[in-house]
Amino acid sequence: MALRTRALFLVLLVAVPYLASAKDDPPQVVALRQRLAALQADPQAAESARYERLQAEQAVNAIAEAKRKEQEQALYVADRRVEIAETSVRTALARRDLDRLDATRNELLIEASRRDAARARQEAEQLRVQAQIQAEESDRLRQAAEEETLARQDAEAALTSVAGKQTAKLNAAQQKAAQLAREEAELMSGTKLPASRFEARGEVFTLAGDAFNGKALASPAQGQAKALAEYLNIGKKGRVTVIAYGADAATAKARGEALRDTLVAAGAGANRFQVSAGKGAPTKARAAEVVISP
């Protein structure tokens, strides 16, 4: 009730100058001034469509200065200007609401991704513990089976099968955790990560041949480095090796250091990195690699 009373007071406060200055205006002009006054009094619309509202006010004021035969045309123009101002205000308010909804949606997506990543990391840890327990049990059974060769062979075959299944589950869980961490890093940074693959040496991210301008990191690759730094901070705790390629060893080393410095500036721990020059010249598909040790 208090808010409604305050809004009515604002409308009257803004409308008084219009009405006082136009007491002899025709009803159509009075109605236009009242619509403008309503726009001026709306606190949400105060900062919206200022130019359109000014044009509308000028068009309404021009009615009184128009010649008699031009009155109808001036009234038509003023009505269109007021309508444009009202539409512009509604559009600006709708766009503001849409921006707020987009921001809320992004926050919800990031929070959901974080929860999924945390759940996946927890599952991976549980499987790791199970694999460790299974390995310890394997050692105990092998020691007990030494007294009988056939029993030992049977036990080792069974344990090998179980260990293989357990390792496969662990690898699948780790890859799922890595995928969720990649999605979270891309959401947080707003940039896609470089292409990656899993090898014996660890997870390998590859930056394409256009990643460098001379010895400096190019602008698109800087965005990828920011996403990669987010990924390293989310859940990847191993050592990181930066391998860069160039026309000579000095250029390759300088490129690797530039990439490492960009990752550190984006928040990755400096003590985790090792930089080395790759063997061979860069190619269109490979200018540098970032290897995360398992």
**Residues 212/225, Cβ–Cβ less than 8 Å:** no
* 3-class SS letters over the chain: CHHHHHHHHHHHHHHHHHHHHCCCCCHHHHHHHHHHHHHHHCHHHCCCCHHHHHHHHHHHHHHHHCCHHHHHHHHHHHHHHHHHHHHHHHHHHHHHHHHHHHHHHHHHHHHHHHHHHHHHHHHHHHHHHHHHHHHHHHHHHHHHHCCCHHHHHHHHHHHHHHHHHHHHHHHHHHHHHHHHHHHHHHHHHCCCCCEEEEECCEEEEEECHHHEECCEECHHHHHHHHHHHHHHHHCCCCCEEEEECCCCHHHHHHHHHHHHHHHHHCCCCHHHEEEEECCCCCCCCCCEEEEECC
* pLDDT attached to residue 18: 46
Q: 273-277 and 288-292 as β-strands: parallel, antiparallel, unpaired?
A: unpaired
Q: In angstroms, how far apart are the furthest CA atoms of the chain?
A: 120
Is residue 9 scored above 50 in pLDDT?
Answer: no
**Region 28-34: what's the mean pLDDT?**
89
**Region 84-106: what's the mean pLDDT?**
87
12-26, 127-141, 169-183, 227-241 — which is least confidently predicted? Answer: 12-26
Is residue 61 scored above 80 in pLDDT?
Answer: yes
Residue whose C-alpha is closest to residue 289's, from 186, 187, 180, 202: 202
For residue 93, count CB atoms less than 10 angstroms from its CB and return exposed for 0-12, middle for 13-18, buried for 19 or more: middle
**Region 78-96: what's the mean pLDDT?**
86
**Residues 225/263, Cβ–Cβ less than 8 Å:** yes
pTM over 0.75: no
Non-local (6+) Cβ contacts of 68 within 8 A are none
Instruction: Give the whole-number percent of the chain exceeding pLDDT 70.
Output: 85
Is residue 5 scored above 50 in pLDDT?
Answer: no
* pLDDT attached to residue 159: 58
Cα 198 from chain centre: 25
Tokens standing for 226?
């920011």
88-92, 166-170, 258-262 — which is least confidently predicted? Answer: 166-170
**Region 137-151: what's the mean pLDDT?**
81
**First-residue to last-residue Cα distance in the chain:** 64
Which pLDDT band, with edges at 50, 70 and 90, does 151 fall under? low
Q: 216-217 and 273-277 as β-strands: parallel, antiparallel, unpaired?
A: unpaired
* pLDDT attached to residue 113: 85
51, 77, 130, 131 from 48: Cα distances, Å: 9, 21, 61, 62
Angstrom distance (rounded) from CA 241 to CA 259: 11
